[in-house]
Amino acid sequence: MYSNAYIFKYASIMVILVAAILSAAALLLQPAQERNVKIEKIQDILRSAHIPSTTANAEELYRKHIIREIVINEQGDELSVYSNGSFEKGDIRAFDVEVRAQQKIKKEKLAGKTTQEPVYPLFVCQKDNDTLYIIPVYGTGLWGPIWGNIALKSDLNTIVGATYGHKGETPGLGAEIATSEFADQFIDKTIFNNNGQFVSVAVVKGGVAGSNVEISHGVDAISGGTITSVGVDNMIEHSIENYVPYFKKIKAI
């Protein structure tokens, strides 16, 4: 029979060995994991502009079509511009800005908990002869984070494409926001009304038809996914409104 001391020592050594192996594996896999996250982000950006890509050619297509990365502040000023592999202004790449973190900063600033200013990433895409502006969006669904990208035409008003994703929405219900059937509803919708006022695009429970929302500013909510649909509605409005001052400045030039 083995003594208690021997068993304790053996178990301790095994725990240490397993922990060391798992730590080493995590370190070895981390670069691959980070690259996969980067490629997925690139593909989502491109997909909002209807540019299909694979893991093999995503980075090449990104360099070809995303001609500028811009970081702006709440006043609509350009803080940083990255183009053709170098900075024209500033030192922050839009690709590296975490939208979730900036939303937290904005909430803390409104609550008087910080004086830090939030910043917002914007991607300028050249596709054929069109210039598109791609806005990353982030929000909260029923069970966790939801996110996406919305591409606007050069008029800075008309949506040309959108993509959405989620962490844990219910399959067949809220998870339907990630389908093309839902996202394609946003094509040709507009975020400003005829008076130039920002109105966003509403996700309407029960459908746009028969509601008081103009068809050009609304899409049908997910049937059975009310809370997720409300989350998407809030996400779009609260994300895009951050870019309105910048868009108005561009239009005034």
Domain residue ranges in the chain? 41-252
The set of residues, in sequence order, having a beta carbon less than 8 Å from that of 240 and lying 6+ positions away, is: 135, 137, 150, 191, 198, 200
**Which residue(s) pair with 219 in the sheet?**
203
| pLDDT tens, position by position, 118-143 | 999 999 999 988 999 999 999 999 99
- Residue in this structure with the two tokens 């053996």, named with its chain if needed: 10
Cα–Cα distances in angstroms (integers) from residue 70 to residues 11, 24, 78, 84, in the given order = 54, 37, 7, 13
- pLDDT at res. 26: 60
* Residue 163, token pair as written in the block: 């993509």
Phi-psi group of 151: left, alpha or beta (phi > 0 → left; psi -120 to 50 → alpha; rest → beta): beta
| pLDDT tens, position by position, 35-60 | 788 999 999 999 999 999 999 999 99
Alpha carbon distance 53, 221 (integer Å)? 28
* Residue 35, token pair as written in the block: 């690259």
pLDDT at 228 over 80: yes
Name the pTM for this structure. Answer: 0.87
pLDDT class of 210 with cuts at 50, 70, 90: confident
Alpha carbon distance 136, 239 (integer Å)? 8
Consecutive H or E run containing 153: none
pLDDT class of 163 with cuts at 50, 70, 90: very high
* Residue 11, token pair as written in the block: 């178990």
pLDDT at 11 over 60: yes
* Residue 175, token pair as written in the block: 């998870």
